[in-house]
Every structure is written in structure tokens, then in C-alpha cells.
Structure 1
């Protein structure tokens, strides 16, 4: 927490800024629990890629509270199921990212739909696919993100 930020946030953290509205979030929040938020990825990992992150600023999985841990597994499963239902990929990757500028950053789990077309286009899979997508740097357009986020909200249900 910083002295100038809301409780349990960091004013310099992009993840915190996206969650608390200081930075534009294409598609808006997809799902919020008391402790976690699910949002569309703002990076170049394709339409339908979601990020699951704690609402408070956390740098290490080891620093999650018991409550955050209790919600995490079921929330990751629900998120992967929603992505599967809406995007219909051949696989859904779930991985932890937690570096910003080569230093630990706000942890966030990336839930990425992977289609055969993605693997064929980039000639890669797994971490190499994600690396290739970042190297290309193609960001999804806001309208496509908003549309898929609406469908994902429906898939999550009440």
C-alpha cells in the first residue's frame, strides 16, 4: 500500500489502476468478488483472454490471505469454463504473471483461449505462443473486447 493510494493499492500499479477506474479498462470488469476481479487482458494475447487478479495489491502468491486462497481455485475454474463456453478454443491456458519491468508486480493469472488458428499463425504453442503474440504486439480492438466481455458476463451467470 502507498500513502497516496486507496487502501491496499499502489498508485503506480497498472493492475490497480485498471481495477479502481484510474485507467480505462476495455470491456469493463467481467466479474468481481469480494477479493478478486476478472477483467479482459489489456495486452496482445487475443480477444477473450481474461486476467484474474486480487483486488488488493499483492506481489507474491505466498502473500495471499486464506480468504483469497479459498476463492482462487474455484474462480480460476469458473473463468476457464466461461472462456471455453464463449470462445470455444481447443485449449485454455492458465498461468501466473507477476513481473513489471523485470521486478515483481501485482500478481495476475492469465486465462487465455488458444485456438488451432493461433498455433498455426504463430508457429508456436505454450510460452512460445505468448512470446510471439507479445512480439507482434497486436491489441484487440475495444469493440471486440466489449462484445466478448458481455458474452462472458452472461456465461458466468449470477
Structure 2
């Protein structure tokens, strides 16, 4: 596994920086954690274990796990939060340069859209501008519920 010290995604995966609730799920090639930014409780980050900055750099193994993993996490977030929509989008820039790719799985509630008078990418931008990060205790409670939900899924 490539590991780049100073890359937030790598630092979180390696445990050099903590994320509320800790690691949620891991596959052979991917890790799921709760988002550390201001996108609300229930927003997940799905990122390759390896430091990858372009989707085109994914291995066959990484690629084959990605779709099913994103679907599984979106379904779990939907089941636990009953959102109006779940956004799944790729983010990969850090300070204007390509960074460790990660997929954001964000439950969007009507109150999110109404509170910011926005939807889609504009909603995410407004949430970042507002800078209101979720209470770490609420994130930890959500993560525990998500782990229980994932464990209860049929194999």
C-alpha cells in the first residue's frame, strides 16, 4: 500500500490523524470512514487504501470493488438517514493539485437544501462555506449504527 505522509486521506487511513468513529469498513482495496468536513452526519468517504490521484490509475482489483462498495454504502446511508437523495461524487483536489481520490457518499435532506437554499454541487459548496462540522459524538453514534447495519446485512 502506498502511503504519503501529509496526505490527509493517507494520514487518516494510517491513523496519524483521527476521524470520529474510526474506520467503518475495509475491503481488500478500499476503506470507508465518516467525512471529517462540514457535509453533515452520515456523509461517508470511500477511498482507495493506496495513494491514487486519478481514476485511470486504479487497478483492476480496485475497479472491480468500487461499484458494489459505493452501492452498498449509499444503500446503508439511505436506510439509516431516509434522505431525499444520496449524492455520490468524486473529489480529488488538494490545494488546487490532484490529490488522493475519494468518493463522497452524502445523504441530503430537505432541511439541508432549505437551510442553504441550494442543491447539488452548490449545496456542497455552501456547506463548506458555512463550515459547520458535525458534533463528533453524533458522528460516533451514527458510525456505530452503520457498523451494526452493515454487520446485519445478509452475506
Aligning the two structures, in what range does the TM-score lie when normalised by the shorter sequence? over 0.9
Question: Which blocks of at least 5 consecutive residues in structure 1 are unaligned?
Answer: 1-6
| Number of residue-to-residue matches in the alignment | 152
Alpha-carbon deviation of 1:37? 0.4
DSSP 3-state at the match of 1:27: coil
* Per-residue Cα deviation, 1:83-116 (whole angstroms, up to 9, x for no partner): 0011111100000000000100000000000000
Runs of 4+ in 1 over 6 A off after TM superposition: none
TM-score, with structure 2 as normaliser = 0.96
- The counterpart of 1:42, out of the listed 28, 36, 40, is 36
In 1, distance between residues paired with 2:116 and 2:144?
28
DSSP 3-state at the match of 2:132: coil
In 2, distance between residues paired with 1:94 and 1:53?
12
In 2, distance between residues paired with 1:90 and 1:23?
32
Question: Which blocks of at least 5 consecutive residues in structure 2 are unaligned?
Answer: none
Range with bigger deviation, 25-34 or 68-77: 25-34
- The counterpart of 1:115, out of the listed 94, 106, 109, is 109
* Matching residue of 1:134: 128
* Per-residue Cα deviation, 1:103-137 (whole angstroms, up to 9, x for no partner): 00000000000000111000000000000000000
Q: Map of 1:1-158 to 2, 5 A cutoff?
A: 7-157=1-151
Alpha-carbon deviation of 1:156? 1.6
